[in-house]
Amino acid sequence: MLTHTHNALTRPSRVVVMGAGGFVGGAILARLKALDVPVLPVSRTDVDLLGEGGGAALAALLHPGDVLVAVSAKAPCKTPAMMEENMRMVAALCQVAAGSELAQVVNISSDAVYTDDAPLVSEFTPAAPASLHGTMHLAREIMLRGVCKAPLAVLRPSIIYGAADPHNGYGPNRFRRLAAEGKEITLFGEGEEKRDHVFVDDVAELVALTILHGSRGVLNLTSGESHSFRDVAEMAVRLAGSASTVKGTPRQNPITHRHFDVTVRLRAFPTFRATPLAEGMAKARRDMENN
């Protein structure tokens, strides 16, 4: 559940985006600037949370009343070494959250904190991650919750897509690129699994709304629509006007689906409109072509 400190939109004195150089951090930065919110972007080159005194370096940049958006993480977290690095990063963030007079902390988490076998997920679904990545995010949430003096908003996006995504993971981004190049798209099995894919602009908008309302609690950042990977692949081919083929492979794992109940978001931000997948995919394609 998400509760607001301000019912009316209220600009904070400043927002510090830790991880502003990344795909999601960059989108958040752009959206906040568009809303005339004073922003301080901080990237790994400014402050290395893994380096000696990383927390102190970040704390030195903060002013009382700042909002801190914590985006940076080593993701996807797949190995014990990455886990260890992420824990060091969040320890530094905790040092900052505990020792600074912040107005709000916004932690960008992940829907990987939920159990894989929950077909319909809401903010009330217990977090029970089965992956290292999900475990990392849940540990990060718990650590921050334990020390944060300011209102803490934990935002859990589903699969984020957009033109600038540097990852080439299985899903809309890879499919869009393969389709643009006219290459074959290979599915796991027949791509039956249904997943929620959220457009990066929507993530940025929801983060901005969370900041402008001074919200605290948990919110899933999702589109509310679940599509099979085959549908997404075929949509990418159609949008590209491509000759790419979409090919299935022998299934290695059982089919699982994930849908989201978006009621908490509808209640928290009733005028927010999620971008439908086809619309978001088309915009991502245009953005990709323009860059």
Partner 1 sequence: MSLPVVGFAGMTHLGLVSATAVTARGMPTVCYDPDQALVARLRNRELPVVEPDLDDMVAANGDRQTFTADLADLSACGVVYIAKDVPTDDTGKSDTSGIAALIEQILPILGEKAVLVILCQVPPGFTRKIPLEPSRLYYQVETLIFGRAVERATQPERYIVGCAAPDAPLHPAFEAVLAAFGCPILSMRYESAELAKISINMCLVASVSVANTMAEICEKIGAVWSEIVPALKLDRRIGQYSYLSPGLGIAGGNLERDLATVLRFSEEYGTDSGVVSAWIANSRHRRDWALRLVHESALREKVDPVLAVWGLAYKENTHSTKNSPSLATIAPLAPYRLRVFDPVIPVAAANHPRAEGATSPVEAASGADALLILTPWPVFRQADPAAVAKVMAGRLVIDPYAVLDHQAATTAGLDHRVLGAPAAV
Query: Site residues (CB under 8 A) for partner 1?
Result: 120, 122, 124, 261-263, 266-267, 270-271, 273
What is the nearest approach in angstroms of partner 1 to the Cβ of residue 261? 6
User: Hey, what amino acid is at 239?
Assistant: L
Query: What number of H helices and E strands is found in the chain?
Result: 9, 14
Nearest by Cα to 271 from 217, 208, 227: 208
- The owner of tokens 């491509």 is 242
Beta pairing class for 67-70 and 15-18 = parallel
What is the nearest approach in angstroms of partner 1 to the Cβ of residue 151? 20
Return the number of the residue (72 or 275) whose C-beta is nearest partner 1: 275
CA distance 199 to 221: 10
What is the nearest approach in angstroms of partner 1 to the Cβ of residue 160? 21
Return the number of the residue (106 or 262) whose C-beta is nearest partner 1: 262
**Cβ within 8 Å of residue 75, ≥6 positions away:** 110, 133, 136
What is the nearest approach in angstroms of partner 1 to the Cβ of residue 262? 7
Return the number of the residue (125 or 131) whose C-beta is nearest partner 1: 125
What is the nearest approach in angstroms of partner 1 to the Cβ of residue 155? 19
151-180 core/surface letters (b: 16 or more CB in 10 A; e: else): bbbbbbbbbbbbbebeeeebbbbbbbbbbb
Return the number of the residue (80 or 273) whose C-beta is nearest partner 1: 273
Return the number of the residue (190 or 261) whose C-beta is nearest partner 1: 261
In the DSSP assignment, the letter for residue 17 is: E
Return the number of the residue (253 or 273) whose C-beta is nearest partner 1: 273
In the DSSP assignment, the letter for residue 96 is: H
What is the nearest approach in angstroms of partner 1 to the Cβ of residue 275? 10
Residue pair 234/274 in contact by the 8 Å Cβ criterion: no
Return the number of the residue (14 or 283) whose C-beta is nearest partner 1: 283
What is the nearest approach in angstroms of partner 1 to the Cβ of residue 271? 5
Residue by residue, DSSP assigns 195-255 as EEEEEHHHHHHHHHHHHHTT-EEEEEE--S-EEEHHHHHHHHHHHHT----EE-----S--
